[in-house]
Amino acid sequence: MLTNLILILVVLSNLKLLASSRLGAAIRVVAAQGVALGLLPILAHREPLAAHALLLAAGTITLKGVVFPWLLLRAIREVHVAREVEPFVGYSASLGAGVLILGISFWMCTRLPMPASIASSWLAPVALFSIFVGLFLIAARKRAISQVLGFLVLENGVYTFGVGVTSRTPLIVEIGVLLDVFVAVFIMGITIFHIQREFDHTAAAPAGEGKD
Amino acid sequence: MTLLLAALALLLGGGMIVLATSRPHRDCSWLAAGVVVVAAIVGGIPAVQVLAGGTVSTLHWPWAVPFGQFALGLDPLSAWFLLPTLLLSALAAIDGADYRKSGPEPRSLGPVWFFYCLLVLSMVLVVLARNAVLFLFAWELMAVASYFLVTVEHERPEVRQAGWIYLAATQVGTAFLLALFLLLARQTGSMDFTVWAARGIPTGGWAAVLFVLAAIGLGTKAGFMPLHSWLPEAHPAAPSHVSALMSGVMIKTGIYGLLRFLTFTRTPPLWWGWTFIGIGMTSGVLGVLWALAQHDLKRLLAYHSIENIGIIALGMGVGMLGWSTGSAPLMVLGFGGALLHVLNHSLFKGLLFLAAGAVLQQTDEHDLDHLGGLLRRMPWTGTAFLIGAAAICGLPPLNGFISEFLIFLGALRGAALAPGAVAVSLLAVVAGLGLIGGLAVACFTKAFGVVFLGTPRSESARTAAEVGPAMIGPMLILAAACILIGLLAPWAVGTLPRVLTNLTGLPTAAIHGGLAGAVGPLLAVVAASAVLLVILGLLVLWRRRLLSRQVMATGTTWGCGYAQPTPRMQYTASSFAQPLLSWTSAVLGGRRQLTAPNGYFPAAASLHTQTPDPLHPDLYRPALDRVGAGLARQRWLQPAAVQLCILYIALALLALLIWKFG
């Protein structure tokens, strides 16, 4: 029951992200999504709480709920970018696309063979939805920070699938993935900062340039 | 095998440490050179053991790569290539310890030495690998490491250009090699060299395809004539000790690969041998002709590498013809000469590049026509260069003569015994080798004469001084090796049988029989050389005695009795080569600008010659431009923004999912 609640939260936060126009708000939404997903390993496992699930939850919440938002908020504060996400695709159109993706994800998962031990039948569609929303955010937003957020949402989708579907994910794999993401966000943060210093803007696609 | 693994680990670990430490660059260089020397000694022990008759060792480790296995093996063929690799790596490293990076400010040499260690490591892995995936891995590691070494002085635009040409050439070669390995794997169902050697390639259509793929893929690295374009670009661009290593041993990994490929085949058809003789003749003759036309010392040496690869290819061609016609002596002498020339070339070409590097470091002059009179200023370097030059020309009693002599002997014997067409092609080999040797003598007379004799043609040549002991030492060791192999020729040839057994699979008796024919003439040559040397020594002593009671005056070299000679009256590199080049200009092409002297009191006259490699501007450039233009038309596919790239990926993913589940 609680698992489904978290999944609903994830869907709602994804939709909110698609409609959100402020960078700061978007960062906070992703952080909230990270915290919600951090609770998932504890709830998704029916057997008594294992130490590794607790550890994983703690790690996920610390990184996604505290460290990443702090890094990203600091980045936008220091870089002085305009606080708007500057979309290629408008907010209502993005929201429409989001609903369409949600539909496709649920439809697709009716045809996906699922293991019997899965915690909730919504897990796979929500995971797929997150992945596509992440890709959509990367493709449809201009700011480099938005792309970092899109990447995080995408990773959240992969994480949801991993935690929910495989009953016993090896701790080491999860920690490894977390570390990867941490390094990626870290490097992106630094790179954004440096790109801004060199070129005075962080839009990944200045109009009409960048073809090489 | 444990020692070899230790050597590999030492190179990797040492390279990492050098990269990590931010020591002042002299310490860093000496540390790295020390690592390479120790690794060479540690790795050299098993190689010598195997060549001396020790057991062939192998190693199989699982490797988490699809179809890959960390399979190493040290048989005599590998050991034969391993030994010069390690020797030259160590000596070039010692020489390079004195290397200073040119450029605006002195910078850390850590990365340079890291890639040097990596290059040595990869070359060792290439000759040891017994699995196709591991071989390709090592092959690519070698390409990448050497690319970074070629572009060490990347501030200069021509160095960056040379780096790109090299990288493109080596990647093309690898593409063919990949196709070769995939086809072999498809036919045998394995990526293991031992399986390939055991099953063998069936003769016929497929074998022809495989042979062509191998000749192109491996020949690009070796520098066979139409595929050689990268050599004259990359060698002058790289630091000299790296050129020595690349020209001395790295290009030989291509030869190693071809010989290894031959161990997979059954009796080759006649046209394989003819192909190799054709390649050898083109590379040998054209290589030396272009060398003659060059004005840059290192570019000249690079063309000589092509020439010597041509000689090796001739030896292999003779050996293959022997294989096809079932003539053991032909096979033994041809392959034996080729193998010995691989070793010899690594010695004298390494020596020549190190000497050229010494000249370059002391004068900072690439152009031959700005050098001169260096023998008095740099006596050790000059003497070492002279020995190397005599060796590369194939003059007795030096080592270059011995290997060429074996090929000569094989070709002559074969020409006498073999049937029609084969005999004609073997006679062509004899003629070709003679022509190559003669032209090489002319070329090195020019190179040595212009650089080391006469009077200096520029201020930097006038003020040049001898290099330090770290650079002289390796040159003297290599020069001594050239002389020793020449004087101990009959015994040097005695090390070949195990390698030849490994390569050809002939019974030991047949190999000894084949070589026995060469030992007699070699003994005579060595004896004659020894007598010659003794006479020479006596003449020197006599001259000294005659002169000891005389007053000696020192005059300008080639002063010709003029009252006021100037260095500009000397023969230049261009004028020395001009007669030979004018005969061959039909083949060579090239541009000349002549302002002929005019009238009774001519005021100004000048001659400029330039002989660029025609393949590059005339063949590769237009072809590549056309490919580039074709690709540019597909440009609209490439998105301008990151966002569109991601969109493509997302759409492709979505389409795939819908297609699979829809």
B511 and B644 both lie in a single domain = no
From the list B641, B650, B658, which residue is nearest A204 (CB)?
Answer: B641
Is B655 a member of any domain?
A: yes
Please state, for a pLDDT cut of 90, what percent of chain B lies above it.
39
Q: Which residues of A touch B662 (CB under 8 A)?
A: 111
ipTM score: 0.73
Is B189 a member of any domain?
A: no
Is B633 a member of any domain?
A: yes
Residue among B352, B337, B313, B341 at smallest CA distance from B443: B352
**Phi, then psi, of B550 in degrees rounded to 5:** -105, 160
Is B464 a member of any domain?
A: yes
Distance, in Å, from the CA atom of B383 to the CA atom of B378, rounded to the nearest integer, reads 9
Q: What is the pLDDT of residue B439?
A: 92
Distance, in Å, from the CA atom of B60 to the CA atom of B43, rounded to the nearest integer, reads 18
Is B366 a member of any domain?
A: yes
B538 and B637 both lie in a single domain = no
Distance, in Å, from the CA atom of B90 to the CA atom of B244, rounded to the nearest integer, reads 11
Q: Say if the Cβ atoms of B658 and A112 lie within 8 Å.
A: no
Task: Tell me how far CA of residue A129 lies from CA of A29, A57, A91, B106, in angstroms.
Answer: 16, 22, 18, 55
Residue pLDDT, tens place only, B552-603: 777 666 666 677 777 777 788 888 887 887 777 777 777 777 788 888 887 7
Distance, in Å, from the CA atom of B503 to the CA atom of A148, rounded to the nearest integer, reads 58
Is B217 a member of any domain?
A: no
B41 Cβ contact list (under 8 Å, min separation 6): B90
Q: Say if the Cβ atoms of A108 and B657 lie within 8 Å.
A: yes
Does the structure show a pLDDT above 90 at B244?
yes
Q: What is the mean pLDDT of residues B68-95?
A: 91
For residues A61 and A38, the answer to whether their CB atoms sit within 8 Å is yes
Distance, in Å, from the CA atom of B530 to the CA atom of B37, rounded to the nearest integer, reads 33
Distance, in Å, from the CA atom of A56 to the CA atom of A58, rounded to the nearest integer, reads 5
Q: What's the pLDDT band for B22 if we cut at 50, 70, 90?
A: low
Does the structure show a pLDDT above 70 at A48?
no
Q: Say if the Cβ atoms of B646 and A210 lie within 8 Å.
A: no
Chain A interface includes B52 (CB < 8 A): no
Distance, in Å, from the CA atom of B295 to the CA atom of B609, rounded to the nearest integer, reads 9
Chain A interface includes B554 (CB < 8 A): no
Rounded to the nearest 10°, the torsion over CA A123, A124, A128, A130 is: 10
Q: Which domain holds residue B318?
A: 267-543+570-589
Q: What is the pLDDT of residue B293?
A: 85
Q: How many domains does chain B have?
A: 2
Please state, for a pLDDT cut of 70, what percent of chain A lies above it.
74
For residues B232 and B303, the answer to whether their CB atoms sit within 8 Å is yes
Q: How far away is chain A from the Cα of B66, in angstroms, using its nearest Cα? A: 21
Distance, in Å, from the CA atom of B608 to the CA atom of B613, rounded to the nearest integer, reads 16
Enter the pTM of the model. Answer: 0.79
Q: Are strands B57-62 and B69-74 parallel, antiparallel or unpaired?
A: antiparallel
Distance, in Å, from the CA atom of B250 to the CA atom of B513, rounded to the nearest integer, reads 32
CA angle B408, B412, B413 (to 5 degrees): 115
Is B150 a member of any domain?
A: no
B585 and B622 both lie in a single domain = no
Residue B490's CB: how many other CB atoms inside 10 A?
A: 18
Is B83 a member of any domain?
A: no
Does the structure show a pLDDT above 80 at B257?
yes
Distance, in Å, from the CA atom of B346 to the CA atom of B85, rounded to the nearest integer, reads 8
Tokens of B249: 């041993």
Residues of chain B numbered 158-177 and touching chain A (CB < 8 Å): none
For residues B127 and B3, the answer to whether their CB atoms sit within 8 Å is no
Domain segments of chain A: what residues? 2-199
Alpha helices in chain A (DSSP H): 2-19, 23-44, 51-60, 68-79, 91-110, 123-140, 144-165, 171-199
B297 and B419 both lie in a single domain = yes
Q: Say if the Cβ atoms of A147 and B640 lie within 8 Å.
A: no
